[in-house]
């Protein structure tokens, strides 16, 4: 293999959220491997907005570097990290799209200097979903630019269509026609940003859709067989579906705690446990918690519920749920009434290990795309309880029999803060855990689709996409003029 100093490098610009950072690094590693390690990775790290996020990212990097050191041939994946300087975080934004985009704008000079300082050819700049302002830097340096899209092709179709939708009037009882969707999408399934047009973050969302057309291509964390209609309908820019991109190697726990909830599953019958988890940033109000508790109690089914407490700071970029105080949140007597068939876990849990466990037969999820992919990888059918961002659109696609059909629909009241009545949850839990054969069969079908896509021995569709993309990156590598200093 060529040394890192001479081989072309793929420059990654991730954001700090675990649901974005790790999938992007995993995708980068797969690109390097697909090229026969003819390329390396250079990861540009924007400072995280909180100490906790910074600690999590540092932990990910440390574990990745340990894996590199343990690589059999000593070459690893050829990854280097470069920390960009601090910038003053915007405080007058109206949403996460604007928050991230403005931070990236502030980092543009640092990004340009970091890339210009590289000694090796640059194969591409690959930016995260809402880092579109960085495309200006790639253009100025004449470097090929790509977007790594961490969400579904369904959301990509919406973002690409958003500039054309700006002048259209939405009607509450109407729907939205999107490329590749078999039926109009109800407005209640759109992201909040699309419905709040007077907020400045809406303009950033629309601008993202416009800017994507400047990229050489979009790399999407999905599989061709998972969203075939939507992918086929995206005419431009070029799209490379390379998913599911999942880091399936378990993260070693800081203590023995997380293992206890997995061990509890060992004593439960096969496919009997409903798993409830609302993501690394998801948290529920006390009324929502109480409704879930009543619904689970009445359902009579076994459950493992990861319940997190409200964050100390709920502002954008700083929302990190705390360990839950169960005595404060749960109805009196709930734990005693469900003892033996239910476990409420008040802190972070190893989601992938839980979904992989044979005792798990269903998943109540916030519909974050990484969680959806993990559930499908293990063939676990879902109950969709979206909380925000792209999650309502994902829930629509998951429950639609004409699209994925891997979830039993759940009535979520967005006007009441994404509230689900206890009786509605009870109904849906019983439907999923005691029946829903068609949904369960579809989840198993999608499991095969996902696994076949990344099966190198069977020339999976995502493997083929990776090979085409890595070849394109190698051919497009450029050597930038050398400044006085180097990384």
Annotated active-site positions, please? 20, 128
| Beta bridge pairs of residue 147 | 127, 218
- Integer distance in angstroms from the first to the last C-alpha of the chain? 21
Q: Are 52 and 12 in contact (CB under 8 A)?
A: no
Q: Which two structure tokens, joined as six digits, stand for 205? A: 């969302």
* Sheet containing 238-241: order of strands: 79-83, 40-45, 9-13, 122-127, 145-149, 217-220, 238-241
Q: Helices (DSSP H) in 87-227: which residue ranges?
A: 96-116, 135-141, 153-165, 192-195, 200-212
Q: Which two structure tokens, joined as six digits, stand for 287? A: 């009324």
For every residue of 46-66, DSSP letters joined together read PPPSSHHHHHHHHHHHHHHHH
- Report the distance separating Cα 375 and Cα 379, nearest Å: 6
- Report the distance separating Cα 76 and Cα 403, nearest Å: 39
Tell the burial category of 142 from Cβ atoms under 10 Å away from its Cβ (0-12, 13-18, 19+). Answer: exposed
- List CB contacts of 350: < 8 A, sequence separation 6 or more: 250, 251, 253, 258, 261, 262
Tell the burial category of 122 from Cβ atoms under 10 Å away from its Cβ (0-12, 13-18, 19+). Answer: buried
The CA-CA-CA angle for residues 346, 436, 381, to 5°, reads: 45
Distances (CA, A) of 444 to 381, 433, 450: 8, 15, 10
Q: What is the DSSP letter of 151?
A: S
Rg (CA), the chain: 22
Q: What is the DSSP letter of 414?
A: G
Q: What is the DSSP letter of 310?
A: P
Q: Which two structure tokens, joined as six digits, stand for 59? A: 């932990």
Q: Are 158 and 166 in contact (CB under 8 A)?
A: no
Residue 2 phi, psi (nearest 5)? -65, 150
Q: Are 390 and 422 in contact (CB under 8 A)?
A: no
Distances (CA, A) of 219 to 12, 40, 240: 12, 18, 5
């Amino acid at each position: 293999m060529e040394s890192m100093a001479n081989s072309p490098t793929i420059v990654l610009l991730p954001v700090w959220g675990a649901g974005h950072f790790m999938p992007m690094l995993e995708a980068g590693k797969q690109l390097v491997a697909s090229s026969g390690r003819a390329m390396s990775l250079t990861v540009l790290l924007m400072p995280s907005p909180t100490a906790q996020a910074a600690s999590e990212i540092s932990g990910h990097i440390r574990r990745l570097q340990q894996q590199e050191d343990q690589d059999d041939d000593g070459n690893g994946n050829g990854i280097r990290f470069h920390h960009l300087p601090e910038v003053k975080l915007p405080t007058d934004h109206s949403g996460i799209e604007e928050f991230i985009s403005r931070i990236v704008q502030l980092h543009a000079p640092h990004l340009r200097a970091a890339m210009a300082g590289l000694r090796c050819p640059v194969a591409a700049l690959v930016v995260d979903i809402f880092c579109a302002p960085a495309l200006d830097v790639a253009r100025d340096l004449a470097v090929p630019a790509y977007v790594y899209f961490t969400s579904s092709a369904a959301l990509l179709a919406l973002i690409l269509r958003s500039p054309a939708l700006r002048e259209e009037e939405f009607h509450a009882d109407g729907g939205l026609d999107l490329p590749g969707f078999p039926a109009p999408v109800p407005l209640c399934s759109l992201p909040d940003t699309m419905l709040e047009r007077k907020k400045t973050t809406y303009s950033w969302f629309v601008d993202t859709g416009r800017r994507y057309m400047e990229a050489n291509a979009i790399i999407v964390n999905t599989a061709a067989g998972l969203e075939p209609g939507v992918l086929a309908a995206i005419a431009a820019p070029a799209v490379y579906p390379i998913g599911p991109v999942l880091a399936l190697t378990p993260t070693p726990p800081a203590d023995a705690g997380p293992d206890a909830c997995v061990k509890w599953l060992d004593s439960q019958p096969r496919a009997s446990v409903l798993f409830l988890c609302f993501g690394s940033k998801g948290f529920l109000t006390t009324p929502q918690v109480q409704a879930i508790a009543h619904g689970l109690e009445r359902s009579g089914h076994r459950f493992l519920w990861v319940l997190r407490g409200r964050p100390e700071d709920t502002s954008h970029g700083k929302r990190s749920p705390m360990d839950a105080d169960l005595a404060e949140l749960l109805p009196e007597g709930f734990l005693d009434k469900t003892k033996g068939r239910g476990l409420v876990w008040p802190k972070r849990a190893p989601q992938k290990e839980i979904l992989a466990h044979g005792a798990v037969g269903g998943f109540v999820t916030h519909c974050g795309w990484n969680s959806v992919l993990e559930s499908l990888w293990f063939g676990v059918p879902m109950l969709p309880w979206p909380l925000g961002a792209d999650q309502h659109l994902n829930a629509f696609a998951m429950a639609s029999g004409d699209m994925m059909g891997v979830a039993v629909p759940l009535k979520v009241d967005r006007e009441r803060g994404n509230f689900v009545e206890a009786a509605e949850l009870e109904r849906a839990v019983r439907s999923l855990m005691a029946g829903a054969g068609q949904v369960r069969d579809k989840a198993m079908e999608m499991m095969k689709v996902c696994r076949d896509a990344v099966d190198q021995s069977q020339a999976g569709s995502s493997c083929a996409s990776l090979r085409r993309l890595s070849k394109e990156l190698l051919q497009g590598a450029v050597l930038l003029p050398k400044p006085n200093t180097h990384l």
